[in-house]
Amino acid sequence: MERIFGVSHLLIKDESRNHYGTLKDRRNRAAISRAMQEHVDKLVLITSGNCGYSLARLAEGSGIRVVCFIDKAIGNYIKERLRKYAHDVIEIDLGSKIYHSEDLLALARETKDEVIWDVTNGYHVAFQDIVGEIETENPDLLIVPLGSGEAYVGLYEGLSRYRVNTKLLGVGVHEMRGNTLILREKPSIADKLHTPFTPYRRRIEAILEEGHLYTQLSDAEIADAYEKIHLLIQCEPSSAAAFAALSEIDVKKYRKIIVVNSGRGIWEA
């Protein structure tokens, strides 16, 4: 990969090696642990596949039921994989409206007394540990795919917590206009990075104002990187986006770069 992208010192934080193949395992372990302590009956989330699959698998044996909300446009293979492990899979049209927690809870509720949590967002703190695992490498640049921004915000907090002086680069399919993040509504080959809504939007914009970075890539650029690397490392187009950014930046400015491979995807799980 150093030869492919012209990088002199490249390291990979390979989250595809997590138990269910995604960095989402980290936040889902935290969600399950907290839910068990609070005697929660059901967890619900909006997912494009990986996070819901990971949550459903990690919930096995806990007594907690997982309901996955997935966009109608997502392929049948992913829906069937989710149905195999989740308590229920509910198809919704994410392009027609923004679904809030109360909407999801109402759609998922089966009895009036069951305790239900929406865990679509809110577990960014779980990603701080990634920085703790790489802090001794002291990289100049840390690159991560940016979809909802949950991992990006968590990594930013991790850099502060561990006092690591590293520039953070988020890679996504959203447009930046000045300091404003314009969320993409149209589907992308990097399906895990496409999101029409995120509660982290303002936080991301504040992080960028501090001097951290974001770059938008086209589907063609992401697809090209995926073709170059998918036989070298377990990844999907959404995780390959972080590697694609290496062709878009001046890599010679950085002594050491770490790329977060966010996972191999439900296709390979």
Structural domain boundaries in the chain: 2-21+123-261, 24-118
Confidence of residue 245 (pLDDT cuts 50, 70, 90): very high
Cα–Cα distance for residue pair 149/173, rounded to 1 Å = 12
pLDDT of residue 268 exceeding 80: no
What sign has the CA pseudo-torsion 93, 98, 103, 104? positive
User: Pseudo-torsion of CA 75, 82, 44, 129, nearest 10°?
Assistant: -100
The C-alpha angle with vertex 241 and arms to 76 and 12, in degrees rounded to 5, equals: 115
269 pLDDT band, cuts 50/70/90, is very low
CATH of domain 24-118: 3.40.50.1100
pTM equals: 0.94
Separation between Cα atoms, residue 19 and residue 72, nearest integer Å: 27
Mean of all residue pLDDT scores within the chain: 94
Beta strands in 33-135 (DSSP E): 42-46, 65-71, 88-92, 116-118
If one counts every other C-beta atom within 10 angstroms of the C-beta of residue 215, the result is 17
The predicted model gives 74-90 an average pLDDT of 94
Segment 224-253 shows an average pLDDT of 96
Judge whether 2-21+123-261 and 24-118 match in fold.
yes
Q: Return the bridge partners of 13, or none.
A: 260
Local confidence band at 267 (pLDDT 50, 70, 90 cut-offs): low
Beta partners for residue 259, in sequence order = 12, 143
pLDDT of residue 222: 97
Whether residue 184 is predicted with pLDDT greater than 90 in this model: the reply is no
Element (H, E) at 258: strand 257-261
| Contact in structure between 51 and 32 (CB atoms under 8 Å) | no
Q: Please say if the pLDDT value at position 246 is more than 70.
A: yes
Report whether pLDDT(32) > 90: yes
Query: Domain 2-21+123-261 adopts which CATH fold?
Result: Rossmann fold (3.40.50)
